[in-house]
């Protein structure tokens, strides 16, 4: 009996790559980012992140949280308010060398008209048969970080559970793992994040009954076969430096590069199978109370009708206020096509405190 179970497990394991579909932009909602601070820096934060958002950006950064509890909320709306993005995170210290964090993300479009029953069996249009549904992606992460015995080195990992839902028509469950490192030397910080390090698998199932449409005694079935969607690993590298500008003014500059291994992407360095997407951010602060941030990323080479090529980029801007444990951050950013320029106003709130002071 044990041999039978072992054989079945091995067949299932080695059949996954055959049945699976390696989608280039699978789980792309997890590439948007969390926290207005990081978004204002064009997501250039894998090395310098030191707060609760580290659970998303680089779990190793949790070890730099100064107080015992850190919590954050963010809400954003994209595409003129059609899509809504929500984030909540919390982190706490377990002892002097280890931290635990939790992250929740939802990205969804609500109140989508369902017109599959718009036409009745006799071919008549009946608007009373229209209903509404939501298409939403959810992610829940549990992060653990620890200081290494090697001075100034921290490491961490995030286990994530993904749930994707398209109304009553289809849903998927996925599981993945992120792992990160941070190293600090004087005013320099170095960061590495291996996202979906084991590949993330989304197992889709479809409701055939809801996708059956009958028109004049003819039945149409729009349900695809069940599928396994695979998200390949991505490597994020970053380096940042802190320096003093003048008296109480200081600054931080970070340069990052995202390496993808799922084929040629439309980024600055596009190749097959590895593409590289660079981006950078600058943060200027006054006494760590008031912050101004700039970021640039999403470099792309655009070919015009006359075959000439031009380089486009996406600038981002942000400000922040940190006082009495509260941090309020704002970012003006755009995740859409630059020609459309659907800029989004993003706000996030963070509060950090010590348990003994409650």
CATH number at residue 297: 2.40.160.60
Question: CA-CA distance, 143 to 89, in Å (whole number)?
Answer: 11
CB 16: neighbour CB atoms within 10 A?
Answer: 13
Q: How many domains does the chain have?
A: 1
Identify whether 348 is part of a domain.
yes
Identify whether 11 is part of a domain.
no
pTM check: above 0.75: yes
Question: CA-CA distance, 55 to 104, in Å (whole number)?
Answer: 10
Mean pLDDT by 10 residues, the chain (358 residues): 37 38 70 94 96 97 94 88 92 95 95 79 78 92 96 96 90 94 95 92 78 48 63 94 94 96 84 91 96 93 80 91 95 62 81 74
**What is the structure's pLDDT at 263?**
80
**What is the structure's pLDDT at 227?**
78
**What is the structure's pLDDT at 44?**
96
Domain coverage including residue 130: 23-357
Identify whether 3 is part of a domain.
no
Residue 163: both structure tokens together = 């749930």
**What is the structure's pLDDT at 224?**
53
**What is the structure's pLDDT at 16?**
40
**What is the structure's pLDDT at 356?**
61
Direct distance between the N- and C-terminal alpha carbons of the chain, in angstroms, rounded to an integer = 57
Coil/strand/helix, residue 258: strand
Contact 47, 254 (CB under 8 A): yes
**What is the structure's pLDDT at 219?**
44
**What is the structure's pLDDT at 132?**
87
Identify whether 17 is part of a domain.
no
Residues 6+ apart with CB under 8 A from 358: none
Cis peptide bond upstream of 17, omega within 30: no
Question: CA-CA distance, 167 to 277, in Å (whole number)?
Answer: 34
Would you report the helix, strand and coil content of the chain in percent, each value rounded to 5? Answer: 10, 55, 30
Identify whether 325 is part of a domain.
yes
**What is the structure's pLDDT at 48?**
96
Nearest to 54 by CA among 62, 65, 66: 62
**What is the structure's pLDDT at 133?**
87
Identify whether 142 is part of a domain.
yes
């Amino acid at each position: 009996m044990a041999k039978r179970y072992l054989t079945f497990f091995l067949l299932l394991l080695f059949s996954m790559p055959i049945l699976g579909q390696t989608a280039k932009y699978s789980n792309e909602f997890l590439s948007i980012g969390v926290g207005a601070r990081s978004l204002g820096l064009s997501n250039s934060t894998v090395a310098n992140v030191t707060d609760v958002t580290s659970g998303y950006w680089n779990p190793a950064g949790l070890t730099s949280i100064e107080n015992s509890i850190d919590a954050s909320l963010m809400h954003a709306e994209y595409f003129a308010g059609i899509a809504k993005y929500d984030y909540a995170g919390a982190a706490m210290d377990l002892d002097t060398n280890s931290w635990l964090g939790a992250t929740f993300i939802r990205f969804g479009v609500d109140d989508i008209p369902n017109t599959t029953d718009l036409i009745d069996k006799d071919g008549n249009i009946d608007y009373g048969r229209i209903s509404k549904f939501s298409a939403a992606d959810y992610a829940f992460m549990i992060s653990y970080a620890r200081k290494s015995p090697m001075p100034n080195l921290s490491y961490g990992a995030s286990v994530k559970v993904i749930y994707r839902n398209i109304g009553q028509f289809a849903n998927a469950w996925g599981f993945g793992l992120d792992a990160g490192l941070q190293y600090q030397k004087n005013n320099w910080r170095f960061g590495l994040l291996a996202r979906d390090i084991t590949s993330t698998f989304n197992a889709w199932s479809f409701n055939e009954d809801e996708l059956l449409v009958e028109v004049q005694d003819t039945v149409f079935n729009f349900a695809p076969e069940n599928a396994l969607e695979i998200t390949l690993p991505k490597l994020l590298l970053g380096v940042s430096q802190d320096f003093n500008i003048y008296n109480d003014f200081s600054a931080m500059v970070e340069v990052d590069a995202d390496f993808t291994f799922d084929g040629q992407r439309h980024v600055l360095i596009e190749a097959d199978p590895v593409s590289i997407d660079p981006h950078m951010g600058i943060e200027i602060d006054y006494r760590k109370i008031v912050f101004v941030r700039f970021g640039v990323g999403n470099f792309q080479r655009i070919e015009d009708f006359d075959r000439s090529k031009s380089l486009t980029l996406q600038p981002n801007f942000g400000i922040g206020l940190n006082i009495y444990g509260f941090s309020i951050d704002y970012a003006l950013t755009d995740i859409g096509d630059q020609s459309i320029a659907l800029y989004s106003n993003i706000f996030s709130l963070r509060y950090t405190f010590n348990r003994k002071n409650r």
